[in-house]
Amino acid sequence: MHNEVSRCQVLLRVQRIQRLAICALALASGCASAPRVVAPTVADAELSPSTTRPIESVESRIRFRFVPVRSVASDGFALPMLSPDGCFAAVQISSTADWTTLLASVEGGVPDAGRIAIAPLGDASMSLIDVIGNDLLLGRSADSQGFLVESPRFDGARWIGRVPWQGGEPAWLIADEMVNAFAALGPAGELAWCHRRPDTERFSISLKRGDLIEVIPPPEDGTWMAPSFSSDGKTLFVLRLRDGVLSACAFPIAQTLGSSPIVSTDLSWRADARMAYQTLIPLRTGGEATDLRLYFFHPRFGRMAIWNSSNNRIALASPGSVAVMSVSPYQMLSASAERLSVEPLIVEGSATEAKHATSVIDSLWIPIGRCDGSGVIVVHPRHGFLDISRIELEPASP
Sign of the Cα pseudo-torsion (340, 346, 352, 355, in order): negative
Residue 148, SS3 per DSSP? strand
pLDDT confidence bin for 69, thresholds 50/70/90: very high
Span 299-357, pLDDT tens digits: 999 999 999 999 999 999 999 999 999 888 888 899 999 999 999 888 888 888 887 88
What is the predicted pLDDT for the residue at 226? 97
Give the whole-angstrom CA distance, residue 359 versus residue 318: 12
- The tens digit of pLDDT for each residue in 135-173 reads 999 999 999 999 999 999 988 999 999 999 999 999 999
pLDDT (0 to 100) of residue 324: 94
Mean pLDDT value across residues 375-386: 85
pLDDT score recorded for residue 398: 52
Lowest mean pLDDT among 28-32, 366-370, 394-398: 28-32
* pTM recorded for the entire structure: 0.83
- What mean pLDDT is predicted for residues 228-251? 96
Q: What are phi and psi of 252, to 5 degrees?
A: -75, 135
Q: Of all residues in the chain, what percent carry a pLDDT higher than 70?
A: 83
Q: Specify the pLDDT at position 61.
A: 60
Does the pLDDT at position 203 exceed 80?
Answer: yes
Domain boundaries, the chain: 1-6+19-76+285-398
User: Which of 220-224, 349-353, 383-387 has the weakest average pLDDT?
Assistant: 383-387
**Secondary structure (DSSP) of 279-344:** HHTT------TT--SEEEEETTTTEEEEEETTTTEEEE-STT--EEEEEETTEEEEE-SS-EEEEE
Please, what is the average pLDDT of the chain? 82
